[in-house]
Structure 1
Amino acid sequence: MKEEMSSVDIRYIVEELKSEIIGARVDKVYHEGDEVRIKLHKTGEGRKDLIIEAGKRIHLTSYIKESSSQPSSFAMLLRKHISGNFVEDIEQHDFDRIVKIKIGKFKIIAELFKKGNVVFVTEDNIILGAIRYEEFKDRVIKPKHEYKYPPARENPLEVSWDRFVELIMGEDTEIVRALARRLNMGGLYAEEILLRAGIDKRKNTRELTKEELRTIYDKMKEVFTAPKKPNIVYKDGKMVDVVPIDLKWYEGYEKVYFETFSQALDEYFGKLTIEKAKAEKTKKLEEKRKQLLATLKRQEEMIKGFEKELKKNQEIGNLIYANYTLIDGLLREFSKAVKNLGWDEFKKRIEEGKKKGNKIALMVKGIEPESNSITVEIEGKRVKLYLDKDLNENAEIYYEKAKKAKHKLEGARKAYEDLKRKLESIEREIEEEEKKIQVKKIEKRKKKWFEKFRWFISSEGFLVIGGKDATTNEIVVRKYLEENDLYCHADIWGAPHVVIKDGQKAGEKTIFEACQFAVSMSRAWSEGLYSADAYWVYPNQVKKQAPSGEFLPKGAFMVYGKRNWMYGIPLKLAVGIINYEGEDLVMCGPVDALKTHAKRYIVIRPGDTKKSELVKKIKKIFEKWGYKVPEEDIMSVLPPGEGDIAEVVE
């Protein structure tokens, strides 16, 4: 699979980029690792992003990575000098894998060979900066040094006929190698030229006729001036290559065509980059997965072995009892014979009996004096009989072996199931890690009915809602408090009314979480308290009926009857992303609720960080986890007042 652009690819992309980026204004520059992305704006055409990956590629891209909060020194250098300037020119240097981009009084030189580099120079080629600083035998990449290009190589587009013949005939090797090396085109295009010319690529250069050389020369010019037809080449559903023109070499392969070469390169390298990132991110997990698969295979073989052993010994034990009279007689006769004759004479008598065709002797398949046993064949099965034990004891030996095999089999099966669960867990981890590669976006959507209130889903799965202000407090009780719910409230003025929907089915854990939510979303948080009291009651105890002579303002209700108190509840919440009814939502609630519904969450407590700053910190953590969440969505779920991050659970 192709991993970097060839000189031919660069020729085509540079020609295409001339019309795309010349005249565009530089808005901003980003740099990370080997990649430099230049954000451009072209009048009438809008935004364009040029990606340069040292040693690999250059093209317009739509794969925009989230930039790190702190730009690199190289990015800052480029921003300082070229932001607001216009791209004046772009060209390939001598058909080499080097691209020069002129922006105002400066140049960016993209080296796309070997390890590669991106070098920033003045119009006089004095180096101002680079991705990496290096020293070579004939040139130095360091600030204040003059930038020198690597030694020039032949350009197949400009090479004359005489020079072409001189270069090829000066080699004593296969023609395909001579073309690739001496004319700076790489193996693929050398193969393509010879395929079009109808000449065996293995033919030695010294054996070529003048006519054959002329055909190769003409086909070379034909290939390098072929009309652009960008495409990605696939084999068996997998990407193989991305090329700017149609190649005979890839006849029979599946191809996907693109309007521009940039689009083809972007699709190819974009997917390649993501696949590599996935492979790198899941490398250790994949190794564990392979080990588990190998162990599972061994475990399967063990299970088969124990099943076979169990069956075999069970059958032999049954066989002994099924042939009770015969085996009991054999044990008696063999024991008596060995006792009277000794083992040597016994063996001799058995061999003589076999020669004479004696049925009993023919049954004997093995004699082992050291274990005092004789193996006989009964009904096609070999049975070892111990002469110092009776029939029942012999049968028990096999039943005991079967029992041990069964015990081992059960253990092996349990271990097998454990391994399968581990494998499934690893595969889920791999899937989760792969998801992190691409930033997920929480799109603007129609909000769920409960999102106009404070809310969370309890660890037991119950929806809990609370008011945000006088109006929503009024609505929570008047419209949404129903007979099967429970009502919670903090013992502090200005606390929200909190309702556990269907709460009379909830357990103590949900009720505690709802009371903790009530105290945490109250003034107790903004006052910096670390604990407060709360209570819960039934819906029929909450009324809009004030005591005689008193008035209840908007959002206020009276609670009558017994209150079920919870004392000293800590003010502590967590915030994270949960998936609820198929949608990703930002949820702020008790820690146990987040622990149940989110794999990662941020624990918060009353503190000194301004709410706006706290929101920014949470937003950055979400982005690190792969979620792009608007600040207002985070702001709307947090408790009132300042707070601090107590813990980040990943």
Structure 2
Amino acid sequence: MDTKRELTSVDLAALEGELADYEGAKLDKAYLYAEDDLVRLKMRDFDRGRVEFIIEVGDVKRAHVAAAEHVPDAPGRPPDFAMMLRNRLSGADLVRVEQFEFDRIVELEFDREDGSTTIVAELFGDGNVAVLDEYGEVIDCLETVRLKSRTVAPGTPYEFPSARFNPLTVDYEGFVARIRESDSDIVRTLATQLNFGGLYGEELCTRANIDYNVPVDEVTDEQLERLYEIVTDLGERLRTGDLDPRVYYDTPDGAEDTEESVAPAEQRNGGGETANENRQRVDVTPIPLEEYDHRYSEPFDSFNDALDDYFFNFQREQEVEGGETQRPDFEAEISKYEHIIQQQQGAIEDFEADAEAERDKAELLYARYDLVDEVISTAQQAREDDVPWDEIEATFEEGAERGIAAAEAVVGVDGSEGTVTLDVDGTRVTVDASQGVEKNADELYQEAKRIEGKKEGAMAAIEDTREDLEAVKQRREEWEAEDTDAAPEPDEEDDDEPTDWLSEPSIPIRNNEQWYEQFRWFHTSDGYLVIGGRDADDNEELVQKYCERGDKFFHAQAHGGPVTVLKATGPSEPAQEVDFPESSLEEAAQFAVSYSSVWKDGKFAGDVYMVDPEQVSKTPESGEYLEKGGFAVRGDRTYFEDTPVGVAVGITCEDQTQVIGGPPAAIRPNAATSITVEPGQYAQNDIAKRLYREFKDRFADETFVRKVASPDKIQEFLPPGGSRMVDE
């Protein structure tokens, strides 16, 4: 089949809701890649950080948000169109993203104090991007269009194409009328008259069990009703974002789409047939398609992510690579298989739970046989007497009011299906009123067996996926072994060259958790360990267990600060006096003030005192009381006045791979990269996400950042209260 090159109207309808989540993002810069007819809008979002919006209207037609690593490098001197966009949109807020009618047109509206600007991306025909002012007049466009039906040219009002029929919003009568006026077959009518396109026209026919080629005048009213139900359901899923996006691959090794290449439904993507290195992406859809049941597909959390994966890799697969063989992206393939295995395991657990639930229902029917039999017999007798279902339901309601146990158990009656739903000891069970208790129970047991059969298929599939995963790992080892064999012996001078970890495509994970990581901690620039409490329980433990002779105790001269201990020795080493360097003392003081209420209050400096461990006691003065986490300090104190707050968060790549945080002077030299923060407007969890996204942008190996520096791990090193990144 031909690989997908353009978004469909259905795609844009699905994408519209996801793109609306980016409203509020502020545009930084715009680029135009003239050779590809590609516009790139670089934005900043409060929650997501960097946002790259791609609009391509050449041979490939798409509009979606792309991962930072998937956007091309900035072109050279920006052309006039890009400069115009920058002049009008720099600092503007994205306020609207909308599909025009049911057409392949997306509008992006930006607001700034000096006016509103709308970008209209036409993803049909030859493709075009037009920029409109607040009055709808074209400021500039990539292509000038002058047709009898419409004009798109600078200085003229922008004219949308004639509105297309929207099958997702039309009522049943309008839907039927549109189809009945066609003189073609049903699939062509759906594709052209109802604007679904060929693929979705076939998909709708398949779901409605209608032959593609049946003439419209031979389609029955019942078939049209079913077709309308399916279209209505599709429209509801697209509007509400109830999606299950998939990227589809070609069949293995060029095989025909026959049953020999088809995996059972329950073995796909939640388990089973998996892509090999020779497969190529051929389509991406917002929901799974029955038309593609024979194809391997990869699920995604969002349709936007699926589009980004598809088009980025589609272009890579289309390129003819010359020169040296490029190293395959083993890490991405391994990550994909691990994700599939995780989904398969979840599916197996769901199958187990569903099967057990069906068996439990069957056993409940037998356990409460008399009650269930009374309900079924009552319904059967009434139907034999031609009593309507609504009267049967009313009879049960009256019986419940009189306290009849069997009637009280009835919670629903569905006359269209001939079923009664009961609440049996807290579990809802739907029974077929035309059958006895035994038959209903047997059907529940049969359903449990059917589900268990799906579980067995998924278990077999997960083993296949694990084999594929091991095969990728084996290929990676072989590749790396060959690469090592072929590499020349490094010069002695090269051994001393530091590794540029930010550029490394794959960073090995090395971490050996230490005892002090249960607290806040850092190592001073002189190598001494500093530990601090996160809460009252930590403060208690630090004072009672880890504050020993030779250590130094620090605390901010403010309520609500952590106990901070500058360690002279480890917990298993004998205590000894140490002459700490002044730099270590100052860094410990800065640590104590930064994680205190001083930061939370938005202040940039505070006083800190230092004492010896023997001056700190959990025993209060006579008549006084110490709260949990509190302590008494007796004797002289050494003060560090107006100590500036300051925290940097970094990631180390050797000898350990982990997040570290603390005073910038101690963190920066030991991290592959670091970010300094100061008191600011972003809540702790929000700034953690921002730092995470910034770190991902800095490292070539994004999987490394995800593994060692998740937002939760970063947050552990951030002070309580609001923060912001410091420009460096």
Q: Same fold (TM over 0.5)?
A: no
Q: State the structure with more CA Rg.
A: 1
Instruction: State the TM-score, normalized to the length of structure 2.
Output: 0.38
Instruction: State the TM-score, normalized to the length of structure 1.
Output: 0.43
